[in-house]
Structure 1
Amino acid sequence: MNNELLSVLRKSWSIHSSSKWSLDNPAKGQCGVTSLVVQNILGGDIKKTFLDEGWHFYNVINGERMDFTKEQFSYIIDYQDIDSNRAEAFQDTNDDQYSYLKSQVDKILSKAES
């Protein structure tokens, strides 16, 4: 599911899900919104780590760290695994970006199930 979900996220990320998105770096700025959508699908917890760029959000599911947006960085992340939540992750995005990404991911996943 993780590789499939990552593939779906890559197809879904756009300027509509993060103002930092670019063709060269589609995962850029997608961490908050992606952690929220992933939690909708897989459950688990949202964690954060402070980087030079600011807070970076990701998921921990069944004790396993799943960072679907780590490819946006050109370096290895030193994860701090600080507890976070939906409200904090949502401060990294907005209603329009969240609704867009959620609808795109849901659409692709529902087609895959049919």
Structure 2
Amino acid sequence: MQTSAFEYEDIGPLRLRAGQAVQATVRRGTVVQVLAGSVRVCEPSRWLAERMISPARTLREGEAMQIDGGGWIEVLAQGCQAQVLVMEPVPVWRTYWRLAISAARRARLSLGHISEAL
């Protein structure tokens, strides 16, 4: 798995019964990690040489993968119950918004110290 500069939001662990499948939309850069059991992850469909394909990969306990493109994925529990953690990257605008609010708070605090000194 490649490391990236994304900040992640935890969607929460999904608990799947044996044979249960879940479909969800995800953003580019989403990480799927298996906490228990084994799952098959079908990535979003894409075009390859004028054919539509949906790459799939089996992940076992402790393994993770990063989804290269946004779209619909399917997670299928294989054999027994599985627990999966899905983490989506935080949108860039939200990161900048947090930085702006943090800077405004620091500026307000430093202005408060200056007014107390006067």
- TM bracket (short chain): under 0.3
From the CA coordinates, give the structure whose radius of gyration is larger. 2
More helix by share: 1
Task: Return the structure number with greater strand share.
Answer: 2
Under a length normalisation based on structure 2, what TM-score does the superposition of the two structures give? 0.25
Which has the bigger relative contact order, CA under 8 A and spacing at least 6? 2
